[in-house]
Amino acid sequence: MNTPDHPGVPAAYHGVWARTLLETPEGRDTSTWVRWLQTGLWHGDLRVPPDAPRDTPEGRAQTQGFAGTTAITRPDAALPEVCTWQRTIDFQPPRSTPDAGHMVFETPARVIETGIHGRYLEVWERLPDSLGRRIALARLDADGQPTAERLLVAGVYCMHLRPRAAAWPADLVPDETLGDLIRRHPTQAGALLDFEIAFGKKEHGVWTLERATQPALEGQALPCALHRVDAARARVERGPLAGGWQVLEWVDDTRNEAIAEMHERP
């Protein structure tokens, strides 16, 4: 789905990317579980720290995740491309600076991101089997209108993102974390944490969840039969995602992207 405001993300960015390194002035991180799913326009992102006590509200609040549209630009020909993740839903409170980085591809399956509005370096590596199929859907409500809930597919991988219903507390301050809010408003912890992001493989009508904002979902194998009804609508039969969805993007480009994936392999 391309529009004048969103010309689409180049094919080099499509797929699911695992972060293998984060470097900041504070140190290095190679253990946080991170997946960035990118379609032709839409993205979903989930980040689960390894040592957070996820059986507590404070521990679960350390998770990060968001979704929205992605823009690739090159405002300065002397510098690398800029990738901007335009977040429309976010597990964490809003940021005061854009989420954007300079992107340099070392290989078709490895890209280096360096910060524009902060000092950091991230290494991303594309997962096998994440090319070919690109789908972005918006859940339809009881009146048939699209909501902010998203279902994203890249290859055999699927990410579901359902935002919280609760509004941010009135005393929200710039750049504070969800953990800050929960410590200040412990009675609102349940509502603030009620934001589902789940990622896993979807094969043969079964979606196996690898990581989620709700730890109890991890490891579950859920029925998920997805099919397109017409140009504008899709349905999921069976399981928690069952119901009607609006088609934002639906591309089956298995042949061309299989060739690209073959070229990535040593």
pLDDT per position as a tens digit, 144-162: 999 999 999 999 999 999 9
Q: pLDDT category, 6, cuts 50, 70, 90?
A: low
The pLDDT tens digits for 232-258 are 999 999 999 999 999 999 998 755 444
- 99 has a pLDDT exceeding 90: yes
What value does the mean pLDDT of the chain take? 93
Number of other residues whose CB lies within 10 A of the CB of residue 131? 25
pLDDT value of residue 158: 98
Predicted TM-score (pTM) above 0.75: yes
- The DSSP symbol for 108 reads T
Mapped onto helix, strand or coil, the DSSP state of residue 118 is coil
CA distance 85 to 46: 13
Range 17-37 burial, b when 16+ CB lie within 10 A, else e: bebeebeeeeeebeebebbbb
- Average pLDDT (101-125) is 97
The pLDDT tens digits for 12-57 are 999 999 999 999 999 999 999 999 999 999 999 999 999 999 999 9
Mapped onto helix, strand or coil, the DSSP state of residue 261 is helix
> Which has the minimum average pLDDT: 5-14, 92-101, 126-135, 216-225?
5-14
CA distance 33 to 43: 17
